Amino acid sequence: MKLFTIGDSISQGFMSGAAARTDLAYSTLIAQCMGIEEYRYPAWGADGLPINMETVLRRLVEKYGTNINLVEWTFALRIVNSVIDDSEDHYERGEGSADKPYAGGIDSFHNVAFQGCDVEDAWGLTATVCKQRIQEISEEEGSGDDDLIAFGPNASYYRTALKVLNPSLEDTYNGYAQTDWLGHHADAEGVENLIVWLGANNALGTVIGLDISQTDNDPNRRPYTMEHAERAANEWNLWHPDDFEAGYTELLNKIDEALGRQRGNCNVFVGNVPLVTIAPLAKGVGPTTTIRRDGKPSVYYKYYTYFPFEEEDAHGGDGPCLTMQEALHIDDCIRAYNRTIKRLLSEKNGGDGPIRYHLVDTCGVLESLAFKRNAGQVEYKYPRHFDYVYPRVDTKYYHADTNGRLRQGGLFGLDGVHPTAIGQGIIAHEFMKIMKQEAGVEIKGNLDWPKIFKSDRLYTEPIPIMHELHNKDWLAKYLIERFARGTTTPRK
C-alpha cells in the first residue's frame, strides 16, 4: 500500500460543520499526485453530518435571496430545521444509519480519519464501542422523529467513526481501531507511507466550548490508560502536557507495533498540533498584547468569543468567552505538546530500523498563515499560483457581500475551525514538501491549483447572505450550538 492515513476531522475532510468531503482532503490530493489509482475513503450522504452550514445558507438564498426580513425569518427557520432534519433522517433511520453497511461491499478504507478523534482514540475507540454508544445515546435521546427543533443526528461522533472503522459491519472488524487497521494492512501488503496527524482534539474543545477543563496530571491515572467511556465521562478538553506526552508515547509505540508486522520499510509523516486559538471561530476582541513565544512575537486579544460577538458580549454580557490568559495557557500547552512530539520522533529515529519518522510542522504553517495572530503581516509563502489570484484568501472568518463577492476568508469553512478545499490544498503542499525533501517519496505530479480553486464552492460561488450570520447573533449561536453538539464527544 502506497499511502495510509490516520487522523481526525481535518484529515477526514470535514468542512463547514459536516463530515465530510474526503475527496477534497489533503491526503486524497497527495494520493493523486503520487499517481495512486485506488485510495479508498468514505463518502457522506445528505450533505454530511451533523449539520452542513453551507447547505443551510445556500437554501436560504434560494428561497429568500440576499435579505430576509423579520416576518420571513419565522418561515426561514423551517428551512434551517429541514436541512438538519434531512441529516437526522439519513443517519438515524435511512441509508446512512448505523445498522446498514457502507454501500459497495467495502470492508476497509485507506483513510481512517474521523471527526473528534483524539490521540488515545487511535487505538482506544473501536467499532464495538461506537455501536454501544450509539445504542445508549439513542435510547436516552429518542429517535428524533417528532422533534419540533432538529438538532442533527444523535451520536454523530460515533456514527461517523463506526462507518470509517467498520464499513461492512462485519463482526470480524468490530474490535478494530485506527491502529488495528494499520496493522491489518501492514501484515497483508505492507504500508510504504503513513500519514499521522492527531492531537488537535486534545485541546480543540476549549475553543468550541470557550472554556477549559484540563486533565489531572495524575501519574497513576493517565488518560491513555482509561477506556474511551471513562475518558469521555471526565469531560476533559485540554490535556496537561505530561498526560499528552504519556498518550503520544503510547501512540507511537502502537504504530511501531503495527508496522512491525511488515517486511518492508515505512516512512511515517507526523503532523504536529496547531494552535487552536487561531481558528476564526474564536474571535479576538478588545485590546491586544504582543507576547513572545519561541523567539517570535504573537498578538493576543483581551478576550476570545464566537465570531459574531463583540467585546461587550464577552465581558459583562451573557456571551461565552476565553480570557487572554486562558488562550495563552491553551497555546502554551500545545507548544509543550509539539516539543514532546519533536523529541519523541527524534528518539524513534535514533536507530537504524525500517521505520523512519518525519515531522511536518503544521503548527508553524498555520501560525504563519494566521492574519490576526501576526497583526495582518502574514509570513507564509504561498505557492506561486496564489500570487495573482483574485480575490485573495486569508484566515479571517468567511464573509461575502450581497453581490456575491468574497470579502474575507477563504481558508477556513463556515464552522470557523476546518479548512476549505483551498486550505486542504495548502496542507497537502506542506506534507508533500517533507515527503519529497526528507524521504524521497516519488511524487509524479503537482497539485492542480486551478482545479482545487474550482472545487471550492465557497470561493467560486460566495454566499451572498453571510451578513445574516454576521449580524444576527442568535442565528450564529443556533448553528454553532448544533455544530458543537455534533463534533464533540458525547460525555454522558
486: closest CA among 160, 202, 198, 204? Answer: 160
Length of the chain: 492
Farthest CA pair distance, the chain: 70
396: left (phi over 0), alpha (psi -120 to 50) or beta: beta
Q: What's the average model confidence in pLDDT over 393-415?
A: 96
Average pLDDT of the chain, as a whole number: 92
Q: How far apart are CA 32 and CA 126, in angstroms?
A: 29
- Asked if the model's pLDDT at residue 492 lies above 50, the reply is no
Q: What's the average model confidence in pLDDT over 247-264?
A: 95
Q: What's the average model confidence in pLDDT over 212-226?
A: 97
Q: What is the pLDDT of residue 142?
A: 65
Q: How many CA atoms lie within 13 A of 188 on its CB side?
A: 9
pLDDT tens figures, 314-362: 665 566 899 999 999 999 999 999 999 999 999 999 888 899 999 999 9
Neighbours of 345 (CB within 10 A): 18
Neighbours of 374 (CB within 10 A): 19
Q: How far apart are CA 459 and CA 453, in angstroms?
A: 7
285: closest CA among 258, 256, 255, 316? Answer: 316
State the residue for C-alpha cell 476582541. 285
pTM for this predicted structure: 0.95
- Which letter does DSSP use for residue 15 in this model? B
Neighbours of 146 (CB within 10 A): 6
pLDDT tens figures, 2-45: 999 999 999 999 999 998 899 999 999 999 999 999 999 999 99
CB-CB contact of 463 with 470 (8 Å): no
Q: What is the pLDDT of residue 478?
A: 73
Q: How far apart are CA 340 and CA 319, in angstroms?
A: 35
Q: How many CA atoms lie within 13 A of 476 on its CB side?
A: 23
- Asked if the model's pLDDT at residue 311 lies above 60, the reply is yes
Q: What is the pLDDT of residue 417?
A: 95
pLDDT tens figures, 146-164: 444 567 899 999 999 999 9
pLDDT tens figures, 438-460: 999 999 999 999 999 999 999 99
Q: How far apart are CA 198 and CA 39, in angstroms?
A: 20
Q: Which three cell numbers stand for residue 200?
A: 488537535
CB-CB contact of 153 with 159 (8 Å): yes
Q: What is the pLDDT of residue 318?
A: 61
